[in-house]
Amino acid sequence: MQLNQITEALEHIAQIIHRTPVYQSSTFNRLTGKQLYFKMENLQRTGSFKLRGALNKISHLSVQEENKGVVAASAGNHAQGVAYSASKKGIQSTIFMPVHTPKAKINATEAYGAKVVLTGESYQESYEAACEYQKEYGATFVHAYDDPIVMAGQGTIGLEMLQQCSFLDAIVIPIGGGGLIAGVASAVKQLNPKIKVIGVQSEGASAAYNRFYQTGDAVLKHVEGIADGILVKKTGVNTFPIIRCCVDEIVTVSDEEIASAIILMLERQKMFVEGAGASAIAAVLSGKIQHIGKNIGLVVSGGNVDLDRLPYFNSIAKHSRPKKVYG
């Protein structure tokens, strides 16, 4: 992906998206012995980075395509991004979501005017159902991650981070299907190839990790975990070549480590972030990423989570509360 595709994407979406802030925390810095810079995409419109890619894709539609509407498959955040972007243009949207999608994401998607269809246990089943709908009705499919226009939209986070923190040594990014990390890594490596890009997956959905290191199944039969936004059974055809080229390392984190990061963010930053959004934080707090320098950027990818899950997060976090993780 060329840098000009990402800069053009920012021009298309800048009037609608938030330029999200970068926060620091003395507590997290003390725990890690690093200077951490949190890119707060949980404060983005619709509560997630996904708006960027969806908005960029929908801004490229022709009038004829707009008239036929759009269809998408999503674990939740992409759904809201598509629904919001379509509503801005008066376009009909139909979203297929896994049956276990948090209620907060379903309700928000419907509130933006989309028709929601719940089907399948994971993104993959929802995706297949959405493809059948697209064939039948001729709507434009807005892919959650495996589309260069969508990836370019997500890559605008990389542009912003380097404008806000040009001195970063590394950036840590969650991975589901790979659209976020592919876009951000493309931008970062073209602007400053010395910056390390580290990906993070849930232990219960490690398709990109397996493929990157050629270990285990590259296509998973089952995914599970609390980070529903990154529970994807396989990486994208378009995303993985960029991951292989531009990403330096991928690690996995457990549900306990993710839950601990969620609770610590709530206690110290007064931010209730979702599992996928906390995964990059969990990777650093757990000490799984070594030799990445002093100044570390973390993409907090989203904050759409059901409040009634908080007691469960707290119960499993007790088994993995972070101590100082770097010497």
Which string of DSSP letters, residue by residue, matches 25-53? -HHHHHHHTSEEEEEEGGGSGGGBTHHHH
- pLDDT tens-digit series, residues 239-275: 999 999 999 999 999 999 999 999 999 999 999 999 9
- pLDDT tens-digit series, residues 96-128: 998 988 787 888 899 999 999 999 987 789 989
For residue 60, the SS3 value is coil
| Other beta carbons within 10 Å of 74 | 31
Q: State the pTM of this model.
A: 0.93
Closest CA to 81 of 39, 124, 73, 66: 73
The DSSP output letter for 143 is -
Residues noted as catalytic:
50, 301
Q: What is the mean pLDDT of residues 275-286?
A: 96
> Measured between alpha carbons, how far is 31 from 15 in angstroms, rounded to an integer?
37
Q: Is the pLDDT of residue 326 over 80?
A: no
Give the 3-state secondary structure of 222-272. Answer: CCCCCCHHHCCCCCCCCHHHHHHHHCCEEEEECHHHHHHHHHHHHHHHCCC
CA angle 195, 274, 53 (to 5 degrees): 60
Tokens read off for 269: 């930053």
Closest CA to 288 of 324, 252, 261: 252
